[in-house]
A = this chain, B = another copy of it.
Amino acid sequence: MMASPIEGQARPIRLADIAKAAGVSHGTASNVFSRPEVVRAEVRERVKAVAEAMGYAGPDPKGRLLRAGKVNAIGVGTTEPLSYFFEDPFARVMMAGISEACDATGAGIALVSAANQEKLAWNIQSALVDGFILFCIEGGSRLVELTRERRLPFVALELGFHDETISAIGVDNIAGGRLAARHLAELGHRRFAVLSLTLGEDRTGFVTPEMVRSAVYTGTRDRLAGYFEELSRFGVDTTKIPIFETENEEKSTRAGLEAIFAGGELPTAILAMSDRMAMIAIEWLTARGLKVPQDVSVVGFDGVPDGALCDPPLTTIAQPITEIGRRAARMILDHDGTVRRETMGVELVVRASTGPAPKG
């Protein structure tokens, strides 16, 4: 047996090397780093000196990890690309909440995502985490299935569909819908249009009542139900309200607005199921010469910070996003094996995108 031929690319120094060089057992060497108080001061210093001299990088977490069994990190997963976490306003606030809880306990955050489906599966399988928080905005069911296979605790956020077997944190969508609708109705509005999130399949366009009934996404359905329940109470014929399903992005939302304002009785108020759509709507209306809120009122949903900054500032149904993030993280961190479901309240934040219905 000979030493590695090239000095330069020697393999990294292991704890066992230090132990041998210092003339102590590997148990003692380990203690020097992980429980220094149990080893005699003299020995401790000697070992440390040897480690220093040999350029030891400290106990390798890879080794420790296997023994410890716990990673002390939580994975946050989504089907969107990784940049989603840094670009999407909703995700960012959520992450701030998650970060807060992680900072407090010293846990790390690993971002899990992937460019394509195969990689996603692999990344979930190989993520070094103790549990997952899932952003189920899109492709939620696949994300959930993949994660379930890891048999680690996980919490679903913004889970569109209903599944009692998984932990989830959501908001009271019906109440949110009602709040938004009542606000507009009380301002005198009677002609509405809805900019809806997806109901099921990947499609965009106007939605029929049957489609609503058979909707897979209960979140969307509930918001709609909330809108309509409340509007009915004000005597509005909800069957006449146009509902346009978008993909919650610019193109399909604009298409929806075009369609809604194409003719017939124009709405004086728009119920948007996300702040994103609401803000796109405001921009579109303004560009079209319609004043918000004088001509058309717009109310959003989510309560992202950007809403306060747009012009006019957005009236919206605010979710306690940061708190949801905090709780989700805590659920993973102090997981006790039970399935937990929490429904958070929402609140109406009145800013300047809504006003009295125009006369006549």
Contacts and interface: CB of A to CB of B under 8 A. Distances in A.
A151 B103 contact: no
A114 B119 contact: no
Contacts of A86: 85-86, 92-93, 95-96, 99
Q: What is the interface residue range for chain A against chain B?
A: 35 or more
Given A109-B111, A115-B104, A92 B82 contact: no
How many of these chains are in the complex?
A: 2
A256 to B, nearest CB: 24
A110 B113 contact: no
B103 A61 contact: no
A7 to B, nearest CB: 14
B58 A62 contact: no
A83 interface: yes
Contact of A58 (B65, B128, B150): B150
A103 B126 contact: no
Interface stretch (A66-74, A159-167, A203-211): A66-74
A192 B110 CA distance: 45
Contacts of A85: 86, 95, 99
Contact of A64 (B73, B108, B126, B151): B126
Contacts of A92: 86-87, 92
Contact of A83 (B95, B110, B127): B95
Contact of A128 (B12, B65, B112, B122): B65
B100 A123 contact: no
A139 interface: no
A63 interface: yes
Interface of A: 12, 55, 57-59, 61-66, 69, 71-73, 81-83, 85-87, 92-93, 95-96, 99-100, 102-104, 106, 108-115, 119, 122-123, 125-128, 149-152, 309
6 contacts: A73-B110, A81-B103, A83-B95, A104-B115, A106-B119, A110-B110
| Shortest Cβ-Cβ A-B pairs, 7 listed | A82-B99, A57-B151, A83-B99, A86-B95, A83-B96, A86-B92, A61-B126
